Amino acid sequence: MNDSQYHQLVDDMFIQLEEALDACEVDIDYESAEGILTLEFLNRTKIILNKQAPLHQLWVATKYNGHHFNFEDGVWIDERTGVEFWSFIDEAATKQAEQTVKLS
């Protein structure tokens, strides 16, 4: 994948995530700026997603730990756990919101 394709893939995923947050019944604020998407929960915890362009990765920091995602076979996969991004973000957001969150 080249840099342009990488940026388009992450930008598209951020847009999907923002649309899912807008439709979500759980109150989660978000802000997007310069390749960083920050989700803030009512309890003031955050999940921060950011581009790592030199590595063509998506990095996600939660209250509990950090994850590095690689684009493989059409999906973003956590390089450490092998979990697909949308499954991961549902679980991470649920944990931090302290209620069920479904963004996928």
pLDDT in tens, 40-91: 999 999 999 999 999 999 999 999 999 999 999 999 999 999 999 999 999 9
The rounded distance, in Å, linking the Cα atoms of 95 and 62 is 10
CATH number at residue 37: 3.30.920.10
In a domain, 22, yes or no: yes
Q: Would 88 be classed as within a structural domain?
A: yes
Residue 104 has pLDDT above 90, yes or no: no
**Rounded to an integer, what distance in angstroms lies between the CA atom of residue 41 and that of residue 57?**
24
Residues 9-48 pLDDT 10s: 999 999 999 999 999 999 999 999 989 999 999 999 999 9
| Structural domain contains residue 103 | no
pLDDT score for 52: 95
Domain total of the chain: 1
Q: What is the largest CA-CA distance in the chain?
A: 39
The residue range of the domain holding 87 is: 3-97
Cα–Cα dist 102/40, whole Å:
16
The model carries a pTM of 0.90
Query: What is the rounded CA–CA span in Å between residue 4 and residue 47?
Result: 25
Phi, psi (deg, nearest 5) at residue 10: -70, -45
